[in-house]
Amino acid sequence: MPRLRTPGLALKWRVALLAAAATALLAGLTMVVAYQVVRSGLYDELRRALRGDAVVVASLYSSGEGSVTTRLTGPTGGMVLQVYDPAGRLLVASRPDFERQEMALPAADVTGGHGVPSMWSGRVGGRPMEAALAPFELGVVAVLTDPSYIGAVLTELSRNLFVAAVLLVVASLLVGYLVAAASLRPLTRLARLASTLGPERLEAIEYAGPRDEVGRLTAALNGLVGRLREALDAQRVFLAETSHELRTPLTSLRGFLDRAVRRANPDSRDDLLDAQRVAGSMTRLVEDLLQLSRGQLVADPRRHLVELRSDVLVPVAAEFPGVVVTPGLPALVLGDPQRLMQLVRNLTANAVRVASDPAAVTLDLHVSETHAVVLVSDDGPGIAAATLERIFEKFYKGAGGGSGLGLAIARQVAEHHGGSVTVESRPGATVFRVRLPLVDADEDE
């Protein structure tokens, strides 16, 4: 038996979450790519500016017009100029703090350009620095700058990209929900219409949309409904015909048994009484089948004034020796006495079958201002909570056995009389409640 899954998120919310997740993934990739592109662009621009300045300064020194005190401006608002001899030793700098030896670039890097401008990245005095090196006749010129401003720019960019990504994900969640809701509206309508179908209402679902997935699903569902309707109609016809065919020989059999019991001697009388009870049980089963087919095809329009206690409960209890009818007030309802007796008979037979003794089965009647409530109680082992609703389904057999028709017919008869049947059960106490409307003054007249 397949396990029932617990309810989860609605499909439109799952679609919206998938859209938001996809958007978040794309936004994350976009952030990474944008961060790398901007970072690479900033460093490339910085190095291009440094290289240009270094070449300009080297040309000035070559012409004798350069000076280490020259202030250079660049992306950071200022740069540092250092001059090295051909061996890579620091000679002078445009700022006193950059003339210390710990602020000098490695000699191998200074002389490693082999006479052409080159770039250098590293730490100078514990600080990250970017430098451009350009040779001239008397040595090498180095233009240095601190690239930390790029980190600040990238931090601000990352913050802005993150905020934009969050807003984009929220917007995609909302848009995804709206799009999913609009797309699933035909499917929601189809589910709503399908939920109204049942054994008493098997009609084709109208669909005026295109021949898309929903259209094909509707057509498949209508085909299934048509086949179910044909199967149920065939079942009803079979039940009705079979019941009619069985009633005649059973009626004759019961008549023969009644005559045989009256004429029998004491030695065989008990065996004939047992056969008579079996024939009675078979007759009630056939009546159940006939009632099931009739109750689904037509509702009996013939109604009478019925006093539940004297006309229904007492005669039914007489069919089951030992069953007790509690005393109380009478209750007048409008209905078919035979069907009401069948309702109570089915509930009583079910109670007697599971009770420890027929005397433990009681039929009670409570009266309110508008309704009468018939209580059928027993001391049986009880009904499991998982099967309480299923016991009223046709052909469902519980632990107590039976044909699987009695309780289904009982509910059907109660509903045809404007009432209902409910059950409460625990080990040692099971109570079926039949609620029927009382006759009011207008109906009585």
Between the two ends of the chain, the Cα-to-Cα distance in Å is 54
Strand ordering across the sheet containing 80-84 = 90-93, 80-84, 139-145, 127-136, 118-124
pLDDT band at 399 (very low <50, low <70, confident <90, very high): low
CATH architecture of 213-293: Orthogonal Bundle (1.10)
pLDDT > 90 in the chain, percent: 15
Residue 138: its pLDDT value, please?
Answer: 85
Coil, helix or strand at residue 5: coil
Q: 433: part of which helix (H) or strand (E)?
A: strand 429-437
Residue 26: its pLDDT value, please?
Answer: 87
- Domain ranges for the chain, please list them: 15-152, 213-293, 301-444
CATH for 15-152 is 3.30.450
CATH architecture of 301-444: 2-Layer Sandwich (3.30)
> How far apart, in whole angstroms, are the C-alpha atoms of residue 32 and residue 26?
10
User: E strands, 111-240, where?
Assistant: 118-124, 127-136, 139-145
Residue 286: its pLDDT value, please?
Answer: 75
Q: List, for residues 136-184, the tens digit of each pLDDT value.
A: 888 899 999 988 888 888 889 889 988 988 898 888 888 888 888 888 7
> How far apart, in whole angstroms, are the C-alpha atoms of residue 43 and residue 151?
10
Phi, psi of 400 (to 5 degrees): -80, -5
Q: List, for residues 237-279, the tens digit of each pLDDT value.
A: 777 777 777 777 878 887 878 888 788 787 787 787 778 777 7
Q: List, for residues 42-83, the tens digit of each pLDDT value.
A: 989 888 988 888 888 888 877 766 555 554 444 444 688 999
Count of Cβ atoms closer than 10 Å to residue 286 Cβ: 20
pLDDT band at 373 (very low <50, low <70, confident <90, very high): very high
CB contact burial 23-41 (16+ within 10 A = b; e otherwise): bbeebeeebeeeeeebeee
